Structure 1
C-alpha cells in the first residue's frame, strides 16, 4: 500500500512540480523551438523562445509562462542577457546552431543525437570555441549532449550492480509509439538526419556503451571500451521518398573482451506492441574473493558451514532495469545472482552446492538507491531525468563540482561513431554532413 501511495504522490508532483523562487543571478535560457525544459531549478529562468512558427511560439510561451518570444533563433543569440540556450531542433540543424551559439558566447544544452554523424561530432565537440572564455560568464563555455537518463538515480543504481569488464552479453530496447508522430514528422526525413537509429535508437546504443564500460561518467576518466565492430544491422526502411530513412532497426555489436551487445528500437510501434524500455545484462561466471565468498557462504555467524580452504564460490549475475528512460515515474532494477560452490579447479566436477539470490531495487533518490558517493546530493523523488541533468549543467556553467556525472566531448564523439557503424554495416548512407561554416 505504501508503494502505491508513493507512486501516486510522486507522479502527482511530476505533473505539478513545486514553484521554486528564483535566485537573483539565475541563468537566463533561450529555447530554440517549442520544446519543454524544466523551470523548477532556482538558478534557471527560461527567458525566451523562438520557433519556425511565431504563432506556435506565442502559444507555447503563454502556456509555459515564458516572458519573451523572439522572431528568430539568431535574435536569441543576439540578446546579451541570455547566457544559455537549449537546442531541441531537428537533428540536421544541431551542428549549425550549436556552433552559432558557441560563437555567440552561449552555453549549450544540445538535444541528442548531438549531430548527424561522427564527422560533425569531431568538428563540434573539439571546436576551438570551447577553449575560449564566454563574454557572459567567467567560466569556459559548456556544451552538453542531453542524454538525460544517465543523470538519474535509477540508472546509477543499476550501473552499480554492473561489472563492465565481465559483461558477457547485454540487450537494450526502446520503442516509440506510432501515435506520437504525424506522417510528415521530421524524424522520418533523411535531409534532416532522421531515422530510428538517430532518434529513439540512440538511447539503447548509449545504454550498451555504458554497460560495457565505454565511459565512467566521472571527472577526467573515459575508458576506451567502445564497440569494436557492428556485427549485424537489420534496418526496416521507409518507402520512397524517404527511402534512406529507417523506421526500426536491430543491431549487434562486439565489445572489447568479446562481449556482445544487442539493441532493438522502433520508431512506429503499434500500441499492442509497446514494451517498457529495458536493459538486460548477463555477466560471465566470476570466482569471488575469499572475503566475498565467506560473506555469501556464511560460517559461525551465518547459516552455512563456511568456505573450506579447498573451495571457491562462483557467481553468475544478471541485472535488469525496466523503464530506464524516465525512472521517476516508475522503475524496477532486478539483480539475480546464481552461486556455485565447488572445489578449487573443479570446473568439471559436480558442485558442492548451488543457489540463487534475487532482489528488486528501487532508487527514486540517491539515498534510496544507496548510490555510492551520491548520497547527500540534491534530488527529490519526483525529479525527472531532465531535472537531474539540468542540475549538473548549471553546476558546470557555475564552475561548481556537482556530483561528477557528465558526458564529455570524447563520449559524444564515440556515441556518433557507434550510430555510424550501424548505418555502415547496413549499407545505408550516413546522415548528411552540414555544409555550414562560421
Structure 2
C-alpha cells in the first residue's frame, strides 16, 4: 500500500512544520535549487529544508513558469525558473535536488555536476548501472557530493534493525523476504508505466531490493535463481510486477536466499478490498528467530521491528524514532542530541547530506559504490527476466545544456 504511505507522509510533513517553529537560518546556510515540480518535493525536500537551519529554499524550476511561480509563492522560494538550465546557471545555488522522472535523473544530475552543484537525486539513481558509474566518476572529478536519496536508510529505525542483525544475537541470517506493492494500482496515466522514462515496478519500488541489500551488507547477487514478471498491458517491456529469488553472500560468508516482490498493481483482496495493511516491509529469518521490519520505507509514520524466537514463540517489539546506534551520540543541526522523534526519513537524510556538503562526517551515508551495485542488481534482474534494461540518455558535454 505504498501510495497510501506516501500520502500520509505528505500530511505528516505538513503537520509537523505547522507545529514546530522554523529555525533561524545560519549565515553559512546552503541554497538549494529544486529541479522539477514533482509532487514528492514537499515531503522529500521542502518541509525538511524549512526545519534545517543550514538550508535555504532558494530556487525551483519547472517547464511551466506558472507552476514554478506557484511553488515559489506557496513555499517561499526566492526565485522561480521556467527551465532547469536557467536554474543551473544561477551561481547562488549550492546544491540541487532532482525529482524528475527516473529516466531523466542521469541527464540532470550530470548537468548539475558540470554546473558545479552538489546533487541529491531521487531513487532509482539512474536508468542503468552504466549511467550510475559515469555520474560517480563525474562527481569525483569535480570534487562534488552526489547522493542517491534512499531516505529510509537514514532513519534511526533502520540503524537499530541492522545493528540487531549484525549482532548475531539470533544467529546467522538464513533468508530474507522483502515486499513493496501498490493496492489500489498506480494510475495508468502515471509516468511510472513509461519504459523510456525508467518505468517499471523494480525501478519504482526499488526499496524492496534496497531493504534486502542493506540487511545483508550485500553488493550484487551471487546467483539469480528465478525471476517471474507480470508485464504491463500497455507495454510488455515494463514490469507491472516482479517476483524474484536471488542468492546473496551473507555477512558471515555463507549464502542467503532472498525473495524480492514488487507490484505496481497488486490485486485487491476478493477484488474489492485494497490491501492497505501491506506496507513496504522485510522479514529476515535467522537461525534462532524471525525478524520483521514493518514499514521500513516510512518508519517515521509508524513502524515496528518484531523478533519471534523460534523455540519459544516469545515475541519482542522494538521501535526507534530518534537516537539509536548512529544518531544517539550526534548533536544535530537544531541542537538536540540524537535528533527529533518527529523528523521524517527525508529530514534525517537532509541532516546527513548537509554534513557531507559542509565537509563533515555524516552519521550515515549511502556510499556511491552502493548506488552502482543497486543499479547493477536491477540490470541483472531485468536481464534474467528477459526484459531490456532501461535506456540511457545522451547528455551534451556543455555545462547546463
Matches within 5 A, 1:19-418: 19-34=22-37, 35-36=41-42, 37=45, 38-39=48-49, 40-127=51-138, 129-132=139-142, 140-163=143-166, 166-178=172-184, 181-200=186-205, 202-214=206-218, 225-240=219-234, 242-256=235-249, 257-269=254-266, 270=268, 272-274=274-276, 275-284=278-287, 316-338=288-310, 355-366=312-323, 370-371=324-325, 374-378=328-332, 379-403=339-363, 405-418=364-377
Does structure 1 retain, via aligned residues, the 8 Å contact 2:68–2:82?
A: no
In 2, Cα distance between equivalents of 1:9 and 1:172 = 25
Aligned-pair CA distance for 1:268 = 2.7
Aligned-pair CA distance for 1:376 = 4.0
Aligned-pair CA distance for 1:433 = 1.6
Structure 1 residue matching 2:325: 3-state secondary structure: coil
Ranges of 4+ aligned residues in structure 1 off by more than 4 Å: 8-12, 14-17
In 1, Cα distance between equivalents of 2:19 and 2:177 = 34
In 1, Cα distance between equivalents of 2:88 and 2:118 = 11
Decide which structure has the larger Cα Rg and report it: 1
Aligned to 1:427: 386
Deviations 1:359-394 (A, max 9, x none): 11110111xxx4267334431011000000000100
Does structure 2 retain, via aligned residues, the 8 Å contact 1:88–1:111?
A: yes
Change (3 A) 1:11 1:27: closer
In 1, Cα distance between equivalents of 2:341 and 2:196 = 40
The aligned length equals 360
In 1, Cα distance between equivalents of 2:358 and 2:131 = 27
**Normalized per residue, which structure has more helix?**
2
In 2, Cα distance between equivalents of 1:372 and 1:324 = 17
Does structure 2 retain, via aligned residues, the 8 Å contact 1:161–1:335?
A: no
In 2, Cα distance between equivalents of 1:9 and 1:110 = 22
In 2, Cα distance between equivalents of 1:205 and 1:10 = 26
In 2, Cα distance between equivalents of 1:10 and 1:71 = 27
Task: Compare 68-77 and 371-380 and name the one that shifted more.
Answer: 371-380
Aligned-pair CA distance for 1:357 = 3.9
Change (3 A) 1:15 1:412: farther
Aligned-pair CA distance for 1:183 = 2.8
In 2, Cα distance between equivalents of 1:373 and 1:191 = 39
Does structure 2 retain, via aligned residues, the 8 Å contact 1:209–1:227?
A: no
Which segments of 5 or more consecutive residues in structure 2 lack a partner in the other structure? 1-10, 333-338
In 2, Cα distance between equivalents of 1:13 and 1:66 = 19
Structure 1 residue matching 2:315: 3-state secondary structure: strand
Deviations 1:185-241 (A, max 9, x none): 2111001111111102x1010111111222xxxxxxxxxx5321221111111123x
Change (3 A) 1:48 1:236: same
Aligned-pair CA distance for 1:16 = 4.3
Does structure 2 retain, via aligned residues, the 8 Å contact 1:10–1:329?
A: no
Does structure 1 retain, via aligned residues, the 8 Å contact 2:12–2:301?
A: no
Aligned-pair CA distance for 1:113 = 0.6
Which segments of 5 or more consecutive residues in structure 1 lack a partner in the other structure? 1-7, 133-139, 215-224, 285-315, 340-354
Deviations 1:244-289 (A, max 9, x none): 11122111110122210111122234561231221100013xxxxx
Structure 2 residue matching 1:364: 3-state secondary structure: coil
Structure 2 residue matching 1:428: 3-state secondary structure: coil
Structure 2 residue matching 1:390: 3-state secondary structure: helix
In 1, Cα distance between equivalents of 2:212 and 2:64 = 38
Does structure 2 retain, via aligned residues, the 8 Å contact 1:14–1:384?
A: no
Aligned-pair CA distance for 1:243 = 2.4
